[in-house]
């Protein structure tokens, strides 16, 4: 029996030594890692370096797990770049690294991590004071660039999986109180990311390896600025290898019903709802976005968009407000943006307008809609470019009348051009939901055989012509109480030709002449221009000519 005890004694000693390592090795490595993380790790940018700080570090060498709690990024010199530029602030509630291979770390200068999980992240980004031009190579960089990480003693980092739970991103303008947008999410997954020594061969900094990057977000719900709307989507996926983005089942909707919106607004207001089944982005330049803050996309294709707009006109307009046309709005936009082409496929759009407390609403409904927007550019690049913002839409009005509309708005000028037409023929009375009560008239008979219009002008006033071709026209003018204006209706049907062109082949062409209301948008401008042409065509005393 004594011999057996002596044989087991060395094994027992080895076991006790190995077990005791958990009590003395963990604290030693924690101290080493603490100094390494606090003093050696630096996030490097063009303007400054940012070090990591935290409240607690927990290491378990046996389970290969490391926890950092209450992490924040701070400028290496304890001050942000003058003027408030720079990264802003980054705070993370907990960082968990699993599958850390310390052997490779000590002997091969390579760090392998199976997964990194972040919980409760808040990132505040601020724009630089200078407006970055999209087209210029010498333009001032935005302050959000993090181009490399300093990890002394490590030549390469491999990460299989990165997970982020509960995150918030705030984008602010020049002042911290000037919030551009806020995004909230519950889960983010990143795969295929690495770090390796930079090409300069200094070994001091590791630069990101993004060739295999894939990013995925699932079932995200964001509350946008002002808490009036929310954005939801089922799936977002980005692949760096081909610079592609795909979004499935996105919905944008108000958080309040129309009644609550009416209570919250003293003036006329609009609400917006949109959803689509799929969005595809090609040429999404993530490298440029991270480096300079410029958002560039070659094309955006939206499939099966369903849009709805409601306008309440029973309240007074906010007449002091100024609504810029789309090209002017883009030139005023702080965020540098360039999208070459946006296309709509299999879309639909409904616009409803409440004119009075009781009575019918104006309905402009396109159950079938497709379109294309070309040359979306913002900021200084828009002001300096010679490009023209082009909007081309084709749809079926009220499901019965094919319509085409084209707008051209050259940047850095005050020029405006529109043209459009209808195809085929339609019974005129089928257009009444759009015509009445907007024009205080109804069609009671006749067929529309075509309409052609064009107009030129500025952001303030347009002039042009409209040709309306029809047969067997009959109209009824309506009072505010909904009853017919008998005398005016009789005069109109007596004096206005019931066909255009007439039997002698003469065609009436109505003048388009409209001065834009500055607190209303571009589509009101287009609609009112077309309306003036229709009224001049049908009014015997209107501004028109015969050809």
Question: Which string of DSSP letters, residue by residue, matches 189-229?
Answer: EEEEEEEEE-TT--SS-EEEE-TT-EEEEEEEEEEPGGGSE
Neighbours of 113 (CB within 10 A): 19
Show the tokens assigned to 206: 């590791």
Q: 57 and 67 in contact (C-beta within 8 Å)?
A: yes
In degrees and rounded to multiples of 5, residue 226 shows phi and psi of 90, -10
Chain segment 18-32, per-residue pLDDT in tens: 555 555 556 666 665
pLDDT greater at residue 64 or residue 412: 412
Three-state secondary structure readout of 20-81: HHHHHHHHHHHHHHHHHHHHHCEEECCCCEEEEECCEEEEECCCCEEEEEEEEEEECCCCCE
Show the tokens assigned to 236: 């977002």
Chain segment 326-350, per-residue pLDDT in tens: 999 999 988 889 999 999 999 999 9
- Judged by DSSP in three states, 117 sits in strand
**Alpha carbons within 13 A on the beta-carbon side of 457:** 21
- Judged by DSSP in three states, 171 sits in strand
Q: Looking at mean pLDDT, say which of 171-185, 244-258, 457-471, 491-505 comes out highest.
A: 457-471
- Does position 520 have pLDDT exceeding 70, yes or no? yes
CA distance 452 to 191: 54
pLDDT greater at residue 454 or residue 492: 454
pLDDT greater at residue 401 or residue 41: 401
- Does position 452 have pLDDT exceeding 80, yes or no? yes
- Percent of the chain's residues with pLDDT above 70: 69
With vertex at residue 56, the alpha carbon angle to CA 53 and CA 57, rounded to the nearest 5 degrees, is 95
Across the range 302-323, mean pLDDT stands at 91
CA distance 14 to 154: 32
Across the range 535-542, mean pLDDT stands at 83
CA distance 121 to 110: 27
Selection from 478, 470, 471 nearest residue 442 by Cα: 478
Neighbours of 502 (CB within 10 A): 12
Show the tokens assigned to 2: 């004594």
CA distance 144 to 293: 7
User: Which H/E stretch holds residue 381?
Assistant: helix 379-384
Q: 261 and 271 in contact (C-beta within 8 Å)?
A: yes
Across the range 448-454, mean pLDDT stands at 95
Taken as a whole, the chain contains a residue count of 547
- Judged by DSSP in three states, 522 sits in helix
CA distance 451 to 470: 9
DSSP-assigned beta bridge partners for residue 258 = none
pTM of structure: 0.73
Helices H / strands E in the chain, number of each: 9, 26
Neighbours of 129 (CB within 10 A): 14
- Judged by DSSP in three states, 35 sits in helix
DSSP-assigned beta bridge partners for residue 162 = 116, 190
Q: Name the pairing type of β-strands 148-150 and 156-172.
A: unpaired
Task: Note the helical H segments in 258-378.
Answer: 258-264, 286-292, 326-332
Lowest mean pLDDT among 80-84, 171-175, 212-216, 317-321: 80-84
Q: 345 and 369 in contact (C-beta within 8 Å)?
A: no
Q: What is the C-alpha radius of gyration for the chain, rounded to an integer number of angstroms?
A: 32
Q: Where does residue 389 rank: exposed (0-12), middle (13-18), buried (19+ CB within 10 A)?
A: buried
- Does position 129 have pLDDT exceeding 50, yes or no? no
């Amino acid at each position: 029996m004594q011999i057996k005890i002596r044989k087991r004694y060395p094994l027992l000693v080895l076991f006790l030594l190995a077990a005791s390592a958990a009590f003395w090795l963990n604290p030693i490595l924690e101290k080493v890692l603490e100094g390494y993380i606090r003093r050696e790790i630096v996030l490097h940018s063009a303007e400054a370096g940012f070090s990591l700080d935290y409240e607690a570090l927990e290491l378990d060498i046996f389970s290969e797990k490391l926890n950092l709690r209450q992490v924040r990024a701070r400028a290496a010199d304890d001050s942000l770049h003058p003027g408030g530029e720079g990264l802003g602030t980054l705070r993370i509630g907990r960082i968990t690294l699993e599958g850390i291979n310390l052997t490779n770390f000590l002997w091969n200068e390579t760090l392998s991590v199976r997964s990194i999980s972040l919980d409760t992240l808040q990132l505040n980004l601020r724009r630089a004071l200078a407006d970055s031009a999209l087209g210029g190579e010498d333009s001032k960089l935005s302050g959000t660039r993090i181009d490399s990480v300093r990890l002394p003693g490590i030549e390469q980092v491999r990460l299989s999986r990165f997970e982020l739970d509960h995150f918030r991103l705030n984008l602010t303008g020049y002042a911290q109180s000037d919030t551009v947008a806020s995004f909230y999410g519950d889960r983010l997954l990143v795969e295929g990311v690495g770090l390796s020594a930079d090409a300069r061969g200094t070994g001091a900094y590791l630069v990101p390896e993004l060739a295999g990057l894939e990013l995925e977000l699932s079932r995200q719900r964001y509350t946008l600025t002002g808490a009036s709307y929310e954005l939801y989507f089922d799936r977002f996926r980005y692949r760096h290898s081909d610079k592609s983005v795909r979004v499935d089942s996105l919905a944008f909707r108000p958080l309040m019903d129309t009644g609550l919106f009416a209570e919250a607004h003293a003036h006329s207001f609009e609400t917006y709802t949109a959803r689509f089944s799929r969005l595809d982005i090609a040429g999404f330049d993530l490298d440029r976005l991270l480096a300079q803050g410029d958002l560039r996309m070659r094309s955006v294709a939206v499939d099966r968009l369903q849009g709805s707009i409601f306008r309440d006109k029973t309240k007074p307009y906010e007449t002091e407000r100024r609504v810029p046309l789309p090209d002017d709005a883009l030139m005023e936009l702080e965020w540098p943006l360039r999208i070459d082409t946006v296309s709509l496929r299999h879309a639909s759009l409904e616009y409803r307008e409440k004119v009075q407390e009781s009575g019918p609403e104006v309905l402009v409904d396109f159950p079938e809609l497709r379109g294309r927007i070309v040359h979306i550019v913002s900021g200084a690049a828009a002001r300096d470019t010679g490009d023209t913002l082009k909007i081309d839409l084709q749809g079926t009005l009220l499901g019965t009348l094919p319509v085409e509309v084209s707008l051209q708005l050259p940047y850095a000028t005050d020029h405006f051009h529109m043209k459009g037409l209808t195809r085929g023929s339609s019974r005129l009375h089928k257009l009444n939901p759009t015509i009445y009560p907007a024009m205080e008239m109804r069609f009671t008979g006749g067929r529309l055989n075509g309409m052609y219009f064009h107009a030129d002008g500025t952001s303030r006033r347009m002039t042009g012509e409209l040709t309306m071709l029809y047969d067997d026209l009959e109209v009824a003018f309506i009072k505010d109480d909904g009853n017919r204006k008998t005398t005016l209706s009789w005069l109109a049907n007596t004096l206005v030709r019931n066909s255009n062109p007439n039997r002698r082949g003469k065609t009436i062409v109505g003048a388009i002449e409209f001065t834009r209301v500055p607190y209303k948008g571009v589509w009101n401008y287009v609609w009112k221009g077309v309306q003036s042409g229709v009224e001049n065509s049908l009014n015997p005393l209107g501004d028109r000519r015969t050809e």
